[in-house]
């Protein structure tokens, strides 16, 4: 639309704008009113859930007491069935409440309160949750590429302690950022296992220790192995993980609700198992490389010339990473195997 050139056209334009402005004001008033209603509904949902949780706990205890007072043979079969049904429902409720709470504002845990303060991090619709998770995966991918190039440069092109320190500093920042993002994802209903978040705390610590390791014969002894490990684990394996995780994310989004997934959705199941069987050998190889790193570091710590505390500390960190990663990955695969009953393994 061309801009008004005469005074009368300006007046006409102003009238149109005035009407539009009234409309904007009305829409904004309605928006604020709805926001207040939403806030009230959120409060009443949250307190109803807290009340329900408390009462369910009390009821579960009362039913248990009644059952000890009245053994099964004293009850009619109808009463026994009713009690069984109630107990089944009580067992299922906590999961339902968790799903509900993923869409309700809640107080941040200790870590998020310390880092972000008491700001609400709950995203209130599925689209925003998906977008946030998608952005988290893309963030990891971008950093994977940067870290891969960085470690390649340090490993094969330039050997300066200052450059290594910059690389380790980037790793500290990256892992710290992941812990924050993952805590926000968990607040939004993500089922990331506690170990993977803890794994990033340990990795932050490990990179911090590597950062402070002074230049010397022992540092040079471990440097190549460390950088090659980074190339493999942070570059290559993380890229495969990205492919698998984002594939899951998009497919599950297409299928609908992740955690209420219909287990007969065989297309997803077979894709997931194909992805996992491809990924697992690389993951396990990485885990054993962590074990190998820790063994080498413990051996170095026993050398008479070893004065640096960083050697044993890095050894302990790698051992912790190996144990946690290996056991958790085995646990995840076993859990998937018994619940999903794969058909294409």
Tell me which of 190, 246, 270, 320 binds ligand COA, using CB under 6 A.
190
- φ/ψ region of 105 (left if φ > 0, alpha if ψ in -120 to 50, else beta) reads beta
Nearer to ligand COA, 136 or 213 (CB): 136
Selection from 103, 324, 124, 52 nearest residue 206 by Cα: 324
Query: Residue 182 Cβ, how far from ligand COA at the closest point, in Å?
Result: 6
Nearer to ligand COA, 129 or 223 (CB): 129
Tell me which of 243, 258, 270, 323 binds ligand COA, using CB under 6 A.
258
Express the helix, strand and coil content of the chain in percent, nearest 5 each: 80, 0, 20
Going 85 to 87 to 90 to 92, the CA torsion angle's sign is negative
Contact call for residue 228 and ligand COA (CB under 6 A): no
Return d(Cα 187, Cα 169) in angstroms, integer: 28
Return d(Cα 176, Cα 189) in angstroms, integer: 20
Query: Residue 192 Cβ, how far from ligand COA at the closest point, in Å?
Result: 4
Return d(Cα 124, Cα 26) in angstroms, integer: 24
Return d(Cα 305, Cα 317) in angstroms, integer: 22
Query: Residue 287 Cβ, how far from ligand COA at the closest point, in Å?
Result: 6
Contact call for residue 246 and ligand COA (CB under 6 A): no
Contact call for residue 245 and ligand COA (CB under 6 A): yes
Q: Which residues contact 106 (CB under 8 A, 6 or more apart)?
A: 46, 122, 187
Nearer to ligand COA, 161 or 258 (CB): 258
Return d(Cα 345, Cα 77) in angstroms, integer: 43
Nearest residue to ligand COA, scored by beta-carbon proximity:
190
- The contact pattern for ligand COA, residues 2-21, with x = CB under 6 A and - = no contact, is --------------------
Query: Residue 30 Cβ, how far from ligand COA at the closest point, in Å?
Result: 34
Contact call for residue 244 and ligand COA (CB under 6 A): yes
With H, G, I as helix, E, B as strand and everything else as coil, classify residue 75.
coil
Tell me which of 144, 148, 172, 286 binds ligand COA, using CB under 6 A.
286
Nearer to ligand COA, 221 or 332 (CB): 332
Contact call for residue 168 and ligand COA (CB under 6 A): no
Tokens 């960085």, residue located: 150
Return d(Cα 216, Cα 310) in angstroms, integer: 12
- Footprint on residues 87-106 left by ligand COA (CB under 6 A): none
**Other beta carbons less than 10 A from residue 42's beta carbon:** 17
Q: Which stretch binds ligand COA (CB under 6 A): 47-55, 61-69, 148-156, 183-191?
A: 183-191
Contact predicate 202/324, CB 8 Å: yes
Query: Residue 297 Cβ, how far from ligand COA at the closest point, in Å?
Result: 17
- Footprint on residues 18-47 left by ligand COA (CB under 6 A): none
Nearer to ligand COA, 31 or 278 (CB): 278
Contact predicate 293/200, CB 8 Å: no
Return d(Cα 172, Cα 163) in angstroms, integer: 14
- Footprint on residues 126-165 left by ligand COA (CB under 6 A): 133
Total number of residues binding ligand COA (CB under 6 A)? 18
Query: Residue 245 Cβ, how far from ligand COA at the closest point, in Å?
Result: 5
Binding site for ligand COA (CB under 6 A): 133, 185, 190-192, 196, 233, 241, 244-245, 248, 258, 279, 283, 286, 325, 329, 332
């Amino acid at each position: 639309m061309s801009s008004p050139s005469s005074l009368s056209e300006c007046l006409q334009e102003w009238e149109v704008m005035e009407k539009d402005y009234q409309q904007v004001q009305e829409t904004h008033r309605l928006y604020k009113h709805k926001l207040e209603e939403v806030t009230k509904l959120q409060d009443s949902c949250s307190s109803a859930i807290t009340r329900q949780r408390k009462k369910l706990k009390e009821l579960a205890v009362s039913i248990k007491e009644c059952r000890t007072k009245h053994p099964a043979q004293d009850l009619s079969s109808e009463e026994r069935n009713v009690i069984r049904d109630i107990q089944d429902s009580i067992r299922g409720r906590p999961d339902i409440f968790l799903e509900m709470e993923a869409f309700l504002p809640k107080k941040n845990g200790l870590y998020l309160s310390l880092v972000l303060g008491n700001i609400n991090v709950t995203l209130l619709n599925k689209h925003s949750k998906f977008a946030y998770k998608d952005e988290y995966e893309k963030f990891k991918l971008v950093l994977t590429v940067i870290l891969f190039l960085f470690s390649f440069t340090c490993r094969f092109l330039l050997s300066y302690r200052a450059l290594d320190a910059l690389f380790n500093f980037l790793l500290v920042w990256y892992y710290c950022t992941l812990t924050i993002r993952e805590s926000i994802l968990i607040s939004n209903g993500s089922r990331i296992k506690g170990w993977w978040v803890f794994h990033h705390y340990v990795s932050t610590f490990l990179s911090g220790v590597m950062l402070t390791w002074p230049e010397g014969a022992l540092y040079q002894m471990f440097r190549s192995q460390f950088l090659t490990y980074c190339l493999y684990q942070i570059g290559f394996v993380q890229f495969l993980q990205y492919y698998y995780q984002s594939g899951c994310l998009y497919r599950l989004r297409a299928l609908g609700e992740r955690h209420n997934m219909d287990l007969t959705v065989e297309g997803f199941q077979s894709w997931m198992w194909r992805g996992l069987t491809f990924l697992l050998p690389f993951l396990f190889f990485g885990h054993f490389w962590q074990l190998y790193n820790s063994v080498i570091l413990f051996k170095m710590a026993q050398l008479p010339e070893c004065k640096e505390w960083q050697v044993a500390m890095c050894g302990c960190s790698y051992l912790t990473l190996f144990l946690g990663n290996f056991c958790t990955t085995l646990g995840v695969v076993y859990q998937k195997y018994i619940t999903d009953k794969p058909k294409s393994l």
